Amino acid sequence: MLSLDFSFYNWALFTDYLQKGLLFSVQLTVIATVGGIIFGTFLALMRLSGNPVLSYCASFYVNTMRSIPLVMVILWFFLLIPLLIGKPIGANLSAIITFIAFEAAYFAEIMRAGIQSVPRGQTYAAQALGMNYGQNMRLIVLPQAFRNMIPVLMTQTIILFQDTSLVYAIGAYDLLKGFEIAGKNYGRPMETYILAAVTYFIICFSLSKLVRKIQTKVAIIR
């Protein structure tokens, strides 16, 4: 008969094993989100530029990344980058580079949809005022696109946070790794994995509720 014991669950569990992993998971999520949005915006602009070479290169990158499982990309970058530069870069830095490169493909599609959601009439109005393409995008289109896409961007960020658990494949110390090590040290692996699932659920569910509130406010502004 299965017997579960959560008596080891105390503040020491967090400070000794989980704090470090949670901090890295949050850092990875924030850095990958910011980097992915910046890189993804450039990819989206390349796809919408009208230049066939830029559009093809961006489309190829986006479609390739979106067609490969993230865990495989994590392993490729972890093994490939040291070969290219001639020295190891560590699991944490490798994870950051991988997530920015991978998530940029998803953020690119989100941003492309956001840019296309801005009425064309505003673009024509900006051109009539003498704005060039760069000014039009920077001052008129992108601010509105970001506002329209805030709920979707946040939803993708929640998914990104969940995906950070995959860095266990290269030995990075994330939140899930902290639970795993705690389970081995306390001799309660089943209980710690249950706690890990509950922790991820609480964090992601809370963020999902926040996204719904923001989505309502954005809809009202529209």
In this predicted model, what pLDDT tens digit does every residue of 40-54 receive, in sequence order? 999 998 998 888 999
pLDDT value at 100 more than 70: yes
pLDDT value at position 2?
Answer: 59
pLDDT value at 23 more than 90: yes
pLDDT value at position 219?
Answer: 62
CA geometry: angle 40, 83, 165, nearest 5 deg: 50
Which one, of 207, 200, 203, lies nearest residue 178 by Cα?
Answer: 200
pLDDT value at 5 more than 80: no
Give the CATH number of domain 11-221: 1.10.3720.10
pLDDT value at position 214?
Answer: 80
* Buried-exposed string 59-85: b where 16+ CB fall within 10 A, e elsewhere: eebbeebeeeebeebbbebbeebeeee
- The full set of domain ranges for the chain reads 11-221
Contact criterion met (CB below 8 Å) for 73 and 102? yes
pLDDT value at 1 more than 70: no
pLDDT value at position 222?
Answer: 55
pLDDT value at position 61?
Answer: 96
Q: What is the 3-state secondary structure (H, E, C) of 19-30?
A: HHHHHHHHHHHH
List, as one string, the DSSP characters of the chain: ------TT-SHHHIIIIIHHHHHHHHHHHHHHHHHHHHHHHHHHHHHTSS-HHHHHHHHHHHHHHHTS-HHHHHHHHHHHHHHHHSS---HHHHHHHHHHHHHHHHHHHHHHHHHHHS-HHHHHHHHHTT--HHHIIIIIIHHHHHHHHHHHHHHHHHHHHHHGGGGGGGT---HHHHHHHHHHHHT-HHHHHHHHHHHHHHHHHHHHHHHHHHHHHHHHH-
In this predicted model, what pLDDT tens digit does every residue of 101-153 receive, in sequence order? 999 999 999 988 888 888 777 777 777 877 877 778 778 888 888 887 888 88
Please count the residues of the chain: 222
Which one, of 109, 84, 113, 110, lies nearest residue 97 by Cα?
Answer: 84
Which one, of 7, 4, 21, 22, lies nearest residue 191 by Cα?
Answer: 4
pLDDT tier at 215, thresholds 50, 70, 90 = confident
